[in-house]
């Protein structure tokens, strides 16, 4: 199953999920309202990074979009 997405995380990494809920409650509310498939795709997009600065940049992009009530394309 080289292309299977079943092993992809369905949630943000715990440290980022905690930050999202603590520091950005309005973004967390929008994040929770998005479809599970979107959350899984974005959690993988953030979690699969190799460099911490890339992970942080992607997390910030996600927070900004969620705070504005938008999904990343």
Q: At residue 2, does pLDDT exceed 70?
A: no
CA–CA gap between residue 62 and residue 31 (Å, rounded): 9
15-24: long-range contacts, CB 8 A cutoff, minimum separation 24: 16/46, 16/55, 16/59, 19/59, 20/59, 20/63, 20/66, 24/63, 24/66, 24/67
* Strand stretches in the chain, DSSP E: none
Task: Kindly indicate the confidence band of residue 4, based on its pLDDT and cuts at 50, 70 and 90.
Answer: low
Mean pLDDT lowest among 4-8, 22-26, 40-44, 69-73: 4-8
What pLDDT score was predicted for residue 61? 98
Could you read off the pLDDT of 10-53 as tens digits, one per residue?
789 999 999 999 999 999 999 999 999 999 999 999 998 999 99
pLDDT higher for 63 or 48? Answer: 63
Q: Which of 1, 3, 5, 68 has the alpha carbon at shortest distance from 39?
A: 5
């Amino acid at each position: 199953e080289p292309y299977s997405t079943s092993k992809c995380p369905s949630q943000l990494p715990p440290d980022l999920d905690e930050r999202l809920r603590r520091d950005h409650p309005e973004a967390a509310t929008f994040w929770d309202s998005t479809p599970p498939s979107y959350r899984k795709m974005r959690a993988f997009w953030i979690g699969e990074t190799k460099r911490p600065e890339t992970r942080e940049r992607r997390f910030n992009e996600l927070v900004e979009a969620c705070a504005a009530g938008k999904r990343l394309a």
